[in-house]
Amino acid sequence: MDISQMNIRQLQQALRDGETSALELTRVCLARIAAGNEQLNAFVTVCEDAALAAAAEADRKLAAGQGGPLTGIPIAVKDIFNTQGVRTSCGSRMLENYIAPYDATAFAKLKEQGAILLGKLNMDEFAMGSSSENSASGVVRNPWDTERVPGGSSGGSAAALAAGQAVATLGTDTGGSIRQPASFCGVVGVKPTYGRVSRYGVIAYASSLDQVGPLAHSVEDAALLLGMIAGYDAADSTSVDCPVPDYLATLNQGVKGLKIGLPQEYFIEGLNPAVKQAVDAAIEVYRGLGAEIVPVSLPHTDYAVACYYLIATAEASSNLARYDGVRFGQRESSETGGLVGMYEATRAAGFGAEVKRRIMLGTYALSSGYYDAYYLKAQKVRTLIREDFTRVFEQVDLLLTPVAPTAAFKIGEKTDDPLQMYLSDIFTIPVNLAGTCALSLPCGMDGQLPIGLQLIGKPFAEATILQAAQAFESETDWHQNRPNI
């Protein structure tokens, strides 16, 4: 049984009918992890014994006609989620020995529904990166071409899923960290509206931008998972008390009569020809399905990257100040002695180069004499970007854009040029600044590399973009492609 070609509903049915067992599914995933992790480096922690024990318990529940909708389904989560009793390193030496004392809310919700945790997935350190090259646990490789990146920062989540090492995964998206890896690895990834999913128990990078979301092989699986993790959580002060619709109920309603906007700022000269061709073909698919295609403008898009890298780094500077070797983080001794010396030694050894770069950028932007010129101005620009989306959504139901200017780039290609690396998120960052929802789904290939299509929706309109994604997926076969690994 090739579980990588089956969605969660099909696996649920196979489990209920006795065609397979939770133990068998779990062993298949663990075998794939064992066979491929040295090559891909997607997993940083594998919970083999606990997963097999949970699978045996799931089989007992299934035999008794009990269990939830995910009972027996093996999943994995980004190493940014607290998971009780399991190491949560966040890709950093600073937390290499941290054992989480509780579960993050999003993961806890999946566990309550019966999901089996296979392990924790590699990522850019503290979610700071677009390529998964910044991890203390080493570079993650793309299963479509192991000389290329899987995207970041949720690179392990996308790579493990694409390689069939898990049925579904969880990631986080601060500036594109679910959608860009989903695009590079040929899977579906959803960035929900800010506040739709609880961030409680997720290690913070930029608190006003971070959001939790699922990655899956199909739109249906993504919709199912999102419905499970969404909802108000009193433990998260940014969680929004807004009803969660049944995403599966409206999934197959099609796009006839929907107005889909094409922002002119996202179809730029630097767009790779293969990406442009794939997105243009997707537009024609939607036109054929009865959607109305409308040209629109988001005029402040050009300022999004600069705005993001001021706000995100400023928030990171504040959030990461807690890692001082006293309250949080691995402590390093100092040759010079004293408290300040210990702080310096701890942070010098505990943080990687990219994290240090962003802490310094953020600290500078917040410092006396520069706050108004940089951070405050960035917040004003963020408001303009949000207003762009508000105005456009008065004209259309959703937006269609590329996810990234190119398919997956080579490992090491952009590490010496941080600006070029930051520009790889040019099409995803505005969504986080605006706080709205978006997803990536496969729409083509550049040779042997997947290309993703981005659908952007109004705030809390995840049902609309999932519905539109399902319509495209039903008309095409791109989501069925799998890497040869």
Active site residues: 78, 153, 177
Residue 274 is encoded by which pair of tokens? 């293969």
- Listing from the earlier edge strand, what are the strands of the sheet with 449-457? 43-46, 116-121, 74-78, 168-172, 212-216, 188-191, 437-446, 449-457, 398-402, 259-263, 292-296
CA atoms within a 13 Å half-sphere pointing along the CA-CB vector of 225: 32
Give exposure, 405-429, as e/b (b: 16+ Cβ within 10 Å): bbbbbebebbbeebeebbbbbbbbb
Residue type, 178: I
Query: How far is Cα 251 from Cα 320, in angstroms, rounded to an integer?
Result: 40
DSSP for 345-375, written as a single string: HHHHHHS-HHHHHHHHHHHHHHSTTTIIIII
161 DSSP assignment: H
Please answer whether residues 437 and 457 qualify as being in contact, where contact means their C-beta atoms are separated by less than 8 angstroms: yes
Alpha-carbon distance 232 to 237, whole Å? Answer: 10
Q: Which value, in Å, is the radius of gyration of the alpha carbons in the chain?
A: 21
Nearest CA-CA partner of 101 in 82, 117, 118, 77 = 82
Q: Which two tokens stand for residue 411?
A: 């490992």
CA distance 392 to 295: 10
Tokens (6 digits) for 249: 């109920």
Query: Which residues partner with 171 through β-bridges?
Result: 213
Distance CA 214, CA 62 (A): 25
Nearest-angstrom CA–CA distance, 454 and 337: 52
With CA atoms as reference, report the closest residue to 399 among 410, 408, 390: 390
Q: Which helix (H) or strand (E) holds 410?
A: none
